[in-house]
Amino acid sequence: MDRRQFIQVAGGGIIFSAAVASTGCTQHMPAAAVAPWNAPGQETDVRRWILSYAILAPHSHNLQSWLVDLRTPDEILLRCDLARLLPEADPFSRQIMMSHGAFLELLDLAARERGMRADIFLFPEGSFGPNDIDQRPVARIRLVTDFKVTRDSLFAQILHRRTNRSKYDAARLVPREAWQTMTEIIKSYPMHFGFVGLDQPDLIRRHRAIAAEAWRIELSTPRVVMETYKVLRIGEAEIEQHRDGLVVLDRIPVLMSKLGLFDRTKSPAPDDYATTSQVKDFNIRLDSTPGFLWMVTDSNDRSTQINAGRAYVRVQLAATAVGIALQPLSQALQEYPEQAKPYADIRSLLGLSQPNRVVQMWARVGFAPSVGPAPRRGLDAQLVRI
């Protein structure tokens, strides 16, 4: 943001600019917010040891809606925290279920590392319907010592896994062998994995265009923006307090928030700088993207959504192992009415004429500067109180 933009936002450019110059406002991720990434595996109870890795799974909006019950010995009961949903952006909780699948996959990897078999029974009290989820368990997991269990090399990548929203290296091709590895790593899951790279520039441009339009729509839909604002953590103090959500450490928005100039009680207009600057920034990142991947299923029941989440985190871990960054592009896959056209466009681009087929994941792929981990609330915050 240049000085003229300071004046437009603040209404008093000289005072606001002076504040920037005097404070510097350098912000860093609080150590306490990322402590779970630094000390997993130090638990003495085997279930807590395993769970200390499972809670590092990716989650939509970083809500961490996993709720774990350890009251039955040798068992883990996983529920969804119904206070941590996205009813506007994810009205049917499809992405929430995928996030629970990612949790279960990391749990399974960690159990294998301890020579244990995780017997996972999905929806032991019955599956949720297509529109809503409730208090019934998502999964019951029984841990059994099994000398035949084999370790999975993906476990070693859990602590290095990141969702990387940076600008990618636009000229660096994702190697064919990397795509092949990502394809092979989920061959046990019934889904269709596809990808496109720089060798198909016309297709790349069409993917970028759909993603850009879906992002613009999301930023122009007030109720969805307000839902995001509720989980926006701006600056060190908010991040350390909540240890979840979408974090902002950039100097300008942090300073604006401190001065009361970042109003999170109302959605900005489509032509406000808060909106247009985000659209511009995201388009720059999209234009740098050298590859896209997608995962399609032949149905959309809750177990399929769980398995899609398990498959996605395996792909992400495999990509991490070879230095490749991923960022899910959830907007065009979201089922609220304003996204109907991008939703139809991405289906058309992928050749999905059968209505039962669903794009569960769409992500940008490439090489990017390394980023730090996202905040985590910690295991105790996600346990059912005894």
Q: Are 179 and 195 in contact (CB under 8 A)?
A: yes
18 pLDDT higher than 70 = no
pLDDT grade for 33, boundaries at 50, 70 and 90: very high
Mean pLDDT of 121-133: 97
**Alpha carbons 296 and 284: distance in angstroms, whole number:** 27
281 pLDDT higher than 70 = yes
Mean pLDDT of 100-125: 98
**Considering the chain, what percentage of its residues have pLDDT values greater than 90?**
87
16 pLDDT higher than 50 = no
Predicted local confidence at residue 31, as pLDDT: 97
More confident residue, 203 or 20: 203
Which residues face 328 on adjacent strands?
363
In sequence order, the 6+-apart residues with CB closer than 8 A to the CB of 180 are none
Q: What are phi and psi of 325, to 5 degrees?
A: -95, 150
20 pLDDT higher than 80 = no
**Average pLDDT over the chain, rounded to an integer:** 92
Angle between helices 302-321 and 176-184 in degrees, nearest 10: 140
**Alpha carbons 97 and 360: distance in angstroms, whole number:** 11
Q: H or E element: which one contains 173?
A: none
Neighbours of 172 (CB within 10 A): 15
53 pLDDT higher than 50 = yes
pLDDT grade for 261, boundaries at 50, 70 and 90: confident
What number of CA atoms fall less than 13 Å from residue 89's CA on the CB side? 27
**Considering the chain, what percentage of its residues have pLDDT values greater than 70?**
93
40 pLDDT higher than 60 = yes
Predicted local confidence at residue 253, as pLDDT: 86
- What is the per-residue DSSP string for 191-240? -EEEEE-TT-HHHHHHHHHHHHHHHHHHHT-HHHHHHHHHTEEEHHHHHH
Least confident of 16-30, 125-139, 177-191: 16-30
User: Torsion over CA of 265, 268, 269 and 272, rounded to 10 degrees?
Assistant: 150
Predicted local confidence at residue 64, as pLDDT: 98
Q: Which domains does the chain have, with CATH numbers?
A: 39-159+375-382 (3.40.109.10), 163-220+270-366 (3.40.109.10)
Predicted local confidence at residue 6, as pLDDT: 37
Predicted local confidence at residue 219, as pLDDT: 96
Predicted local confidence at residue 19, as pLDDT: 37
Least confident of 24-38, 129-143, 208-222, 231-245: 24-38
